[in-house]
Amino acid sequence: MKEKYKNCFYVKTKPCGGSLVSEPRITALVGGLLIDGTGRGPIEDSVVLIRDKEIVAVGKEGEVHVPTEAKVIDVSDMTVMPGLIDAHMHFMGAKTDRFVEEWLLRPWPLGLIKSVFDAKALLEAGFTTVKDCGSRAGIYLREAIKEGLIKGPRIVTAGPALSQTFGHGDAHYLPIEWVKDRRKHYGFICDGVDECIRAARLALREGADFIKVCASGGVLSQKDRPEHVQFTLEELKAIVQVARNAGTFVTAHCQCAEGMKNCILAGVKTIDHAIFPDEEVIEMARGKEVIFVSTLSIAKRIVEKGEKVGMPPWGVQKAKEVYAAMVKNIRWLYESGMTMAAGTDFCGTPTLPHGDNSLELELLVKESGYKPMDAVIAVTKNAAKACGLEDQIGTIEKGKLADIIVVSGNPLKDITVLRDKENIKLVMKEGKIEVQSSPL
Ligand SMILES: [Zn+2]
């Protein structure tokens, strides 16, 4: 503890200044190693000053004036960094990993209830924002968190995702009569420009923050493959236009090169999974604001555990086929200078659990060769971009919302420290301390 803050030390129930009546509006995180998320080198003995929801000053101790009324939190020997952001996940709230049975037999409100706990687990793991790329629960959770009913990260959600007939989001392991309303799982089915326009508008009407499309086949869809192109360029263009007209953007599940090219031409903002890019994809993306979102975590877990935990065999088989290419190509995109954000595609099953979302960072460093600093950027600044929130969150800079975590250990030396919840000592969202271990 620094001598000059002795009288100001934060005591659990008693804010600095002695007044218990009004909570101080200014908080200072003092003495930590600051990784601000911009990619700049870390700052030792830092001060981050927060007023209400906002970061008002950042710098070294001695350079930033800490007002006497500030509530000072000593974070010496710890790391201060932006709240983490999972740029691709789902709130499914599944109880088991048996996807097919879960969706058929388990009433979906149970998934909504389970997701309440998943949201809390995410926050406790240091995730202050998540991008839900298609679910039934996301919109309701977002509202419940905003209302203060439950604890959780800021949620940016697609609500129902859009898929073509025989697309990644069409449950084609079931007879078509069983999925007649085509909304059994997590999205809308639409074919042709007119239906695509209507489906995108319906998703917005439901409360989607952005539009999610499936622009290629996938791993966890039975009869298609990651190499299959889905939606036509015209369909994608029409959906992007609907999103733009409403002041938002489109995110694509997309795993094959042709699909990625369609996405880039149509003006899709993020290309998620990105298993099989080619040279042309990289050239087309260069200079544009396209963001690639890695999701190594889901594939890794399916490969390692899918069979044992009862995931559908066709999904396990495809994950095994693509994982090595995924690792290699995410490295290729990263080394080619693409804008890379980190996702997991976790959905809250026992094998894809919310709360362990920092697994992605470990895989990016250990398997795809990211520098730890670049893994940090992928889960902060670039993930904020993938959410369309880069003006508000993702870095610790003056004027940004105070989404900040304090971590025991240094992720630049060992990225795995972020995976251990015990190391997440404090989680602040919009200036409010949501999680704090005691003693800090
Ligand atoms: Zn997904």
Radius of gyration of the chain (CA): 22
Q: How far is the CA of 24 from the centre of ligand 1 (A)?
A: 41
Predicted confidence at residue 221, as pLDDT, reads 82
Predicted confidence at residue 183, as pLDDT, reads 57
Predicted confidence at residue 15, as pLDDT, reads 43
Q: How far is the CA of 412 from the centre of ligand 1 (A)?
A: 28
Predicted confidence at residue 18, as pLDDT, reads 44
Q: How far is the CA of 297 from the centre of ligand 1 (A)?
A: 11
Tens-digit pLDDT profile for the chain (440 aa)?
445 554 443 433 334 444 444 555 899 999 999 999 999 999 999 999 999 999 999 999 999 999 999 999 999 999 999 999 999 999 999 999 998 888 788 898 999 999 999 999 999 999 999 999 999 999 999 999 999 999 999 999 999 999 999 888 888 888 887 776 655 456 899 999 999 999 999 999 999 999 999 999 888 888 888 889 999 999 999 999 999 999 999 999 999 999 999 999 999 999 999 999 999 999 999 989 999 999 999 999 999 999 999 999 988 998 899 999 999 999 999 999 999 999 999 999 999 999 999 999 999 999 999 999 999 999 999 999 999 999 999 999 999 999 999 999 999 999 999 999 999 999 999 999 999 987 66
Largest CA distance in the chain: 72
Reported as type and span, the H/E element at residue 221 is: none
Q: How far is the CA of 280 from the centre of ligand 1 (A)?
A: 24
Predicted confidence at residue 12, as pLDDT, reads 37
Predicted confidence at residue 172, as pLDDT, reads 80
List, in order of start, the domains of the chain with CATH numbers: 3-83+396-436 (2.30.40.10), 84-386 (3.20.20.140)
Predicted confidence at residue 347, as pLDDT, reads 95
What's the sign of the alpha-carbon dihedral 417, 304, 251, 147?
Answer: negative
Q: How far is the CA of 48 from the centre of ligand 1 (A)?
A: 35
Q: How far is CA 342 from CA 24, 216, 278, 330, 371, in A?
A: 35, 20, 20, 11, 13
**How many angstroms separate the CA atoms of 427 and 381, rounded?**
17
Q: How far is the CA of 88 from the centre of ligand 1 (A)?
A: 6
**How many angstroms separate the CA atoms of 359 and 300, rounded?**
10
- For 408-429, letters b (16+ CB in 10 Å) and e give bbbbbeebbbbbeeebbbbbbb
Asked whether the beta carbons of 222 and 194 are under 8 A apart, the reply is: no
Predicted confidence at residue 185, as pLDDT, reads 53
Q: How far is the CA of 345 from the centre of ligand 1 (A)?
A: 5
Q: How far is the CA of 342 from the centre of ligand 1 (A)?
A: 12
Q: How far is the CA of 147 from the centre of ligand 1 (A)?
A: 26
Q: How far is the CA of 161 from the centre of ligand 1 (A)?
A: 10
Q: How far is the CA of 168 from the centre of ligand 1 (A)?
A: 10
